[in-house]
Amino acid sequence: MKKEKCYNLSMIEFIQPIINNIGEWLVESGPLVLGILIGTWILSHFMNGFIAKVIRRAVPSSAFATKSAEKKREDTLINIAQGFLHIFVWIVGFLAILQVTGVPIAPLLAGAGILGVAVGFGSQSLVKDVINGLFVIAENQFRIGDIVEIAGKSGVVEAMTLRVTKLRDMDGTIHYVPNSQINVSSNSSMDYSMVNMVIGVGYSSDLDSVRSVVNALGEEMAKDPEFGPKIIVAPYFLRVDELNSSSIDIRILAKVFPKEQFAVAGELRKRLKEIFDKEHIDIPFPTRTLINVSK
């Protein structure tokens, strides 16, 4: 029993100074640390709104064809600037807490500088990501919400940073593409989109009649209350594109608002099938004739 009491007393004597030190630290530095954390949180959220207002005022409306294009550009710049400043503010807050708690930050900053040089030599791909990201943003190659193809991946741009671009494809899969991998970017929703369709008709079809039917259908869609607002230039017969072995291929074009090409093209195919059936315009398909030579 005496040994157990001695053990308990020694533990108390060991823990008591720690508890006293923690208590003193909480009394002396705790409120200041808490104030820094709250101030950093408030500042980071205040900066979000401030950055959004500054960028929306700074981006000139006259540089964009539509309000939608202007908003995409603004949202992209806001997303990147907020992410960068959010990290910066919290780093400054962390350093302020270290200073308050008595940790010297000068050696830490010097060490970070040396470490930064070493990292710079060892992670050139990261530097290339950031530099390429700056060019993508400065040249306005694509924005959040655009449909693009980059580095062999295609989809809607969901987010952008200076290092990586996040794409979501039609299957819902997310692709994270490092900006250094973007050698060529193809944007199918910049300012406007196109419906570019090739349809085969039979050789017995009167092409002048086909042209009239297609153009009339395009004008009808342009006046449609649902699809008309999506269309800039009504679908029209462009040319005979190719003479195939079983069909005459015609090319149909339409100019639509960004990202509306899929809905308009789908409806156009549906209506073409219906009007071709009504006008007895044949849509041929490859046929194969089998000859029985055994007889």
| Per-residue pLDDT at 110 exceeds 70 | no
Which residue from 198, 203, 267, 205 is spatially nearest to 239, judged by alpha carbons? 198
Sign of the four-CA dihedral 173, 177, 183, 187: positive
Co-location of 214 and 268 in the same domain: yes
- Do 12 and 94 share a domain, yes or no? yes
Its pTM stands at 0.64
CA 31 to CA 97: how far, in whole Å? 11
One domain for residues 226 and 114: no
Q: Which DSSP symbol is given to 162?
A: S
Rounded-to-10 torsion of CA 47, 49, 53, 55: 60
* Structure tokens given for 192: 């406007």
Q: Judge if 45 and 109 occupy the same domain.
A: yes
Question: Looking at the chain, how many residues does it have?
Answer: 295
Predicted confidence (pLDDT) per residue in 81-98, tens digit? 777 777 777 777 777 777
**Are residues 94 and 200 both part of a single domain?**
no
7 within some domain: yes
Q: How far is CA 105 from each of CA 31, 94, 123, rounded to the nearest angstrom?
A: 20, 10, 25
Q: Which domain holds residue 120?
A: 2-124
CATH code, 32: 1.10.287
In this prediction, residue 47 carries a pLDDT of 78
Mean pLDDT of 250-267: 93
